Amino acid sequence: MLSIDGVTDLWDQLFGAQPDPPGLLVLLTAVAGLLAVALRPVWRVARNAVTIAHEGGHALFALLTGRKLRGIRLEFDTSGLTLSAGRPTGPGMILTLLGGYIAPSLVGVLGAWLLGGNRITMLLWLAVVLLLLMLINIRNAFGVVSLLITGAIVFVVSWYASPQVQAAFAYAGVWFLLFGGVRPVFELQTLRGRGRMRDSDPDQLARITHVPALFWVGVFLVVNLTALAVGGFLLAGQWLPELSATL
């Protein structure tokens, strides 16, 4: 059992602020996050993290609007599916469908806000908790393996890594979500333009709301670009003077 001092240390580690990371680390992790999204071979693998956030967004909005979550599937090709029960129309279904494509970017903004307060360990532990909660609702083997591996990596970094490594990992992950929230919107519209994905989130929204699917694609893009701007400011804004002096 943990002693009182051990519990106090654990509490301080979780809720205390970590040392300020170097300004150059913020810049380098931004470049790393951008490259992970821009380089196709890396993106094919890293996109799984965006899919996890995407399906988690569907699930969270479904629960918040009173729908019953039936299960989540994560596939090897980085696609996913979240099933919920409730009215097939109305605000609950609309918000559930909206939640997917904007979730990675919104998670990125939340992460940027926590990092802006130097709550690096809290961010990593929160990620582990959310992955475990999502794991309960996974309904296929690949999804279970994907979440376990992702959660294990985050936990090991949060528990065993040095503060510098934790900072680099957390900043790179948040930058990746901010950049990674934008690319799937363009990929979605490209596939829609080729006549594929006729049952995509914006197409379902169009059938429910009688508003063109292209409008909803635009909503996704505006929200995610705004999130990128806000998150980028939170991550890099306080370090711009230091970066200018360094460069």
Is position 172 within any domain?
A: yes
Count how many domains the chain has: 1
- What is the pLDDT, as a whole number, of residue 238? 58
DSSP 239: G
Distances (CA, A) of 140 to 19, 69, 184: 40, 15, 23
**Structural domain contains residue 73:** yes
State the pTM of this model.
0.91
Other CB atoms within 10 Å distance of the CB of residue 171: 26
Q: Please report whether residue 17 resides in a domain.
A: no
- From first to last of its 247 residues, the chain has per-residue pLDDT tens of 545 655 555 555 666 666 778 888 999 999 999 999 999 999 999 999 999 999 999 999 999 999 999 999 999 999 999 999 999 999 999 999 999 999 999 999 999 999 988 899 999 999 999 999 999 999 999 999 999 999 999 999 999 999 899 999 999 999 999 999 999 999 999 999 998 888 899 999 999 999 999 999 999 999 999 999 999 999 987 566 555 555 5
Exposure pattern of 62-84 as b/e (b: 16+ CB <10 Å)?
beebebebeebbbeeebebebbb
* Domain with 124 in it: 22-246
Task: Provide the pLDDT for residue 236.
Answer: 85
Asked if the structure places residue 11 within a domain, the reply is: no
Q: How far apart are CA 9 and CA 6, in angstroms?
A: 5
C-alpha–C-alpha distance, residues 149 and 152, integer Å:
5
Q: Is residue 130 part of a domain?
A: yes
> 5 lies in a domain?
no
